[in-house]
Structure formats: structure tokens, C-alpha cells
Amino acid sequence: MASTGGLSRRRGAGGATTEDGGIGSTHSSSAPLSAGGRRNTDSKVASDPRDLQMEDENKTQPKLTLMEEVLLLGLKDKQGYLSFWNDNISYTLRGCILMELAFRNRIAMVKDPNRRKYPLADRYIEAISEKLTGEVLLDEALKMISSTEERMSVGQWIDLMSGETWNVMKIGFQLKQVRERLAKGLVDKGVLRTEKRNFLIFDMATHPVTDSAVKEEVVKRACTTLISRSTGSSPTLAEKNSPIQYQQLRTVAMVCAAYAANVLENALMYLNHEMRERAFNKVEELLGDYSDYPFASNASKDEIVGRDLQMEIVAAVLNVFTKMDSIL
């Protein structure tokens, strides 16, 4: 807590203190006199260039991260919780963290010509920028990657962040309570709210949807991508005009991650049987096109110029998703 002395000093900046302790006396002032005898009250506010850079970057980033979009698709709108039988979403969310960091140009594959001898998921990654993103989970993962001397691959990082390791020396790499922390982040963004529900003998925090328009936009984007008759994934007009960096690739990553997490069906529940079948066939096609690098589809070619090492990570994560039991 600030001291009373500090409080007095801050008050004193606004006006002089009189002999009897009053504030606002005109007998003295720190404002200098101008040539015309008027007091010069003009002041310049200093700004940190890093804050300006962060503002510029935020303009090209979406409101929701990949992890939040996938979690939102899995949540029941009114009940506010995920299916108790979903064992895949936790692992998938860790992969989404790596993709999100790659989209934000924080991590990339280690630039080694010999890396192509190894499968995508076994190639080493590194931090290329330690600048924080403002998203708690992303920054926690970024700090781990940047501070670790031992180089590790995409597959290793997903396993470690999921807690799937027998190496007791690496238990500390596990990201804990990811789903709950993401839900609280969505509460802070005004998308969800927090309620307490009783489940038999215990209470549990649930997070029903408050801003349905946000979830509807995610569902609409997923459906538009998956029921398109075009081959591959051609950017929509909205994606072409979007200020968001990698918008089309982000949508592809989101639907593929939702498929791996077993929550994509929630977005397709309002489609008829034929359209759902087409959507599932399309997402399998997208996984095939984007789980190798260079991408088989040329739809996003212009978006990724000069970002090959970052996009390799996206392809590597999607490659890991293709090997998950849920979609074999």
C-alpha cells in the first residue's frame, strides 16, 4: 500500500499547499511563466516505444486465441462445461499453444538445413522473440521455451506441456489447469461468465456463454470453410479483407484442432446429414494438405512469404494431430 507521504506528494503536484495545510492556494505554483506573463500549462506525455509496438501488433491479432476458439466450440452454451468423456482436448490445446506462438512470430523451427532429414514433429524449435504477448498461457509457454538450454522438438514440447513424460526432471514443464485458465480468460474478455453448479456431492465452477455472437462467429467461420465446394481452402472475401495476420491459416488450424479435440461436431450440429459428411471429409482433406510443409494447398501462399520456419511449426502440430488415436 502506498505511504501517506507518497499520497501527499501526488496531491501536491496539482496545487500548492497553504500554511494551514489547504490545497489549491494560488500563492505559488510550479508552472513556469511564459513571455506574456501567462502560465505555461502545456506538457508532453512520454510514451514507451514498446507500448506503441504492442498496440500495432494487437491490431493484427484476433480477439480470441486458437486455444480459446477450440475450447469455446467444446463448451455447452447454457451448462458451461465440457463433456466429461473428452480425453483429447487437453492434449490438443497444448498443440494450439505452439501454433499460436508461431502465428505471433515468437517461435520457429531451428534453421538447420539438416532438419529436413527428420519428420516434422521431430524437428527442434526455438524462441525467436521473448516479447510477451499479453496472454498468460502463451507467455508461460514462451518463457519455458526461451529459457530451456536443451533443444526439443514439437512433439516433445506438446508431450511435456501435457505432462506425458516419465522424466521426473521435466515434470515442471507441464502446463496445469489449461482449460480452466482459458475459460477464465474468456470470462475476462466478456465471452463467458462464471457460475457454481452442484454435481452430486461436489460443486464445480461452470462457464456459460454470455456473448453468443462471439461463438456464433467462430461456428460460422468453421462451417463456411468446411462446406465450401472448392478444393483445398480458398480464403473467403472476409478473410482476404481481414486485418488479422494469417486469418485464413488460423481458420484452417482451428477447424483441424477442433476435429482432433473431438469438438468439431458441436459446430456442425445444425447442418443436415449430407452437409456434415461433406464437412468431415473436408477437414480430413485439410489435415492432409496442411500437415506437411510446404503446404499442399497454395491458398495461403501469399500470407506466409518469409515465414517458412514459423509455418513449419503449424504443419508439425497438425501432423501430430493426424497421429492421435481419436482420428486414426
DSSP 275-297: HHHHHHHHHHHHHHHHSSSS-S-
- Residue whose C-alpha is closest to residue 68's, from 93, 87, 47, 86: 93
Q: Which domains are present in the chain?
A: 63-327 (1.10.3630.10)
* CA 172-155-309 angle, 5° bins: 110
CA 45 to chain centre: 32
Task: Over range 217-240, report the average pLDDT.
Answer: 77
Task: Over range 291-315, report the average pLDDT.
Answer: 84
pTM: predicted TM-score of the whole model, two decimal places: 0.80
Nearest-10 crossing angle of helices 308-322, 247-260: 20
The pLDDT tens digits for 230-277 are 655 566 666 666 788 999 999 999 999 999 999 999 999 989 999 999
The pLDDT tens digits for 124-157 are 999 999 999 999 999 999 999 999 999 999 999 9
